[in-house]
Structure 1
Amino acid sequence: MKVRVDITLKTGVLDPQGEAVRHALGAIGFAGVNAVRQSKMLELDLAETDPDAARKSVAEMCEKLLANTVIENYSIHIG
């Protein structure tokens, strides 16, 4: 079963990489970009066949390793 996890910084957390990209876009002529936020996307291929069990397992993975839940949010997409 394919599972996608999107990990984003929480609102209010500084994003220096996003700010560097925003600045670089302006420097090469793309004016009007007010903000850029970077994120991570992980794609997992699980042996699990039950969507509810897969979601529970991946949530545990996120809580323990994949996301820093102090500063990051995550969302799980099955399928």
Structure 2
Amino acid sequence: MKYAVHVMYKPSILDPQGQAIQQSLQNMGYTGVDDVRLGKYFEVTLADNVENPDEQVEAICDQLLANTVMEQYTFERMEEE
């Protein structure tokens, strides 16, 4: 089973890298960009015999992939290729 995990700063957390990207875009002439938020993307593949795979992915996110004080995450099971 493969999962897509997206980790982003919480809305209340300042994102200086996102702000730098937004400023660069404006300097390049993209004046309609109101906000840029930088995040992380992970693909996690679990063995087919893992019990409670959603719970395991959530635990992985809580314990390693996201700093839950500053970040929020979402995950979804991906279609098998």
Question: How far is 1:9 from its partner?
Answer: 0.8
Aligned length: 78
Say yes or no: does 1:66 pair with 2:65: yes
Q: Deviations over 1:40-66 (max 9, x none)?
A: 11001111356x711100111111111
Give me the CA root mean square deviation.
1.4
Q: Which runs of 4+ in 1 moved over 4 A?
A: none
What secondary structure sits across from 1:73 in the alignment?
Answer: strand
Question: How far is 1:70 from its partner?
Answer: 0.1
Q: Deviations over 1:24-49 (max 9, x none)?
A: 00111111211111111100111135
Structure 2 residues without counterparts, runs of 5 or longer: none
Answer 1 or 2: which has greater helix percent: 1
Provide the rounded CA distance (Å) in 2 between the counterparts of 1:19 and 1:32.
14
Say yes or no: does 1:54 pair with 2:59: no
Q: How does 1:1-79 map to 2 (within 5 A)?
A: 1-49=1-49, 53-79=52-78
**Quick one: percent identity of the two aligned structures?**
38
What secondary structure sits across from 2:6 in the alignment?
Answer: strand
TM-score by length of 2: 0.87
Structure 1 residues without counterparts, runs of 5 or longer: none
Give the letter for the 2:3 counterpart.
V
